[in-house]
Amino acid sequence: MSDSDHQASRTRVPMPIATLNDPHMGDAAKNPGRIEVLVALIFVVAIIALAGFGAAYWQNWSPWIIGGTMGAGLFLLGFGLTAWGKYLMPQGPFVEERHVLASSADERDSLAAALVERSAVVVKRRRVLGGLFALGSGIFGIVALFPLLRSLGPVPGNSFEVTDWRKGSLLVDSNGRPVHKDTMVPGGILTVYPKGQEANPSGQATDQTVLIRVQRTDFTTRPGRESWAPEGYVAYSKVCTHLGCPVGLYEQQLELLVCPCHQSMFNVRNGAQPQFGPAPRPLPQLPLAINSGGYLVAQGGYDQAVGPGFWERTTR
């Protein structure tokens, strides 16, 4: 049926009339006066609430009063309007016929025919031409995308691999103070950076290191690292090897560094080997030394990339 047919049938429906006992009217409409008064009352309270909202905003009362009055006012407005719609307006059930979505077979055929036949003109190699056009557009798309992507930022290079720690880098805390070997007692932890990087966010992100004093005498975390932990001070990269969160949670009796994000646990005694949780690799250890003034310095940089894994990472 077309639209005009529909409309004709609509206008031809006789004007229906009903009694109040008609089940379509619903309970509420049988006594609409009461509902009307109720809805009116709801609107009045809403107006009062919204006036309150205006006053609250004008007088700069606390957010909960501003929000509470606004919320109450809006809610009552909505509630009243919905109640009006639900109880006082015709509910039906009314029916509407669906148009058949699909067009007729003839219409479909004519569309398909136009598409196929109109393009099958004299040229025999339209596939080749079409293909070349598509190739050209595609190449344009890809080539045009490159400047957009490439200019967004630099190539990674070795930026993921290197930190600012060098041989002789002085360990400083977040206020830039160097760390003397008498600073901490066993069980202490301090976040340190190479001197100069403590206020630089990029430096903080890659260079951040936890310094822990485990005991008062030298100890070895792993074979080959005998000199790395002088007087019981041991330093590990603070960047978790799982997803890069700072591993700031130290449990001194368990001698465990725990990453707060996903609870990877690293054993401080044996080179921050992961004991639990999703971290795949130990935290890289920074080799420490104590300089002539008694201050802690690095013997060199980290022996591997810090932080999470990525495709180009080669060191184990």
| # chain residues binding another protein, by CB under 8 A | 141
Helix (H, G, I), strand (E, B) or coil at 200: coil
Binding part of the chain for another protein, among 24-32, 107-115, 122-130, 224-232 by CB under 8 A, reads 24-32
Residue (of 297, 76, 59) closest to 192 by Cα position: 297
Cα–Cα distance measured from residue 58 to residue 270, given in angstroms and rounded to the nearest whole number: 63
Cβ 160 vs Cβ 310: under 8 Å? yes
Residue matched to tokens 């598509």: 134
Report the amino acid identity of residue 41.
Answer: L
Is position 13 an interface residue for another protein (rule: CB under 8 A)?
Answer: yes
Binding residues for another protein restricted to 167-186, rule: CB under 8 A:
168, 170, 173-174, 178-180, 182-186
Q: What's the closest the beta carbon of residue 29 comes to another protein, in angstroms? A: 7
Q: What angle do CA 62, 67, 70 make, to 5 degrees?
A: 130
Is position 133 an interface residue for another protein (rule: CB under 8 A)?
Answer: no
Is position 191 an interface residue for another protein (rule: CB under 8 A)?
Answer: yes
Binding residues for another protein restricted to 87-106, rule: CB under 8 A:
88-98, 100-101
Is position 144 an interface residue for another protein (rule: CB under 8 A)?
Answer: no
Is position 295 an interface residue for another protein (rule: CB under 8 A)?
Answer: yes
DSSP code at position 178: B
Tokens standing for residue 161: 């691999």
197-217 b/e (C-beta count within 10 Å ≥ 16 → b): bbeeeebbbbbbbbbbbbeee
Q: What's the closest the beta carbon of residue 234 comes to another protein, in angstroms? A: 13
Binding residues for another protein restricted to 221-260, rule: CB under 8 A:
238, 242-246, 248-254, 256, 258, 260
Q: Name the residue nearer to another protein (CB basis): 194 or 287.
A: 194
Is position 10 an interface residue for another protein (rule: CB under 8 A)?
Answer: yes
Cα–Cα distance measured from residue 117 to residue 101, given in angstroms and rounded to the nearest whole number: 25
Partners of 246 in the β-ladder: 239
Q: What's the closest the beta carbon of residue 163 comes to another protein, in angstroms? A: 11
| Residue partners of 147: CB distance under 8 A and separation at least 6 | none
Q: What's the closest the beta carbon of residue 300 comes to another protein, in angstroms? A: 16
Q: What's the closest the beta carbon of residue 128 comes to another protein, in angstroms? A: 33
Cα–Cα distance measured from residue 41 to residue 47, given in angstroms and rounded to the nearest whole number: 10
Is position 268 an interface residue for another protein (rule: CB under 8 A)?
Answer: no
Q: What's the closest the beta carbon of residue 127 comes to another protein, in angstroms? A: 29
Which one of residues 38, 45, 54, 188 is an interface residue with another protein (CB under 8 A)? 188
Q: Name the residue nearer to another protein (CB basis): 30 or 126.
A: 30
Residue matched to tokens 């398909």: 112
Q: Name the residue nearer to another protein (CB basis): 179 or 229.
A: 179
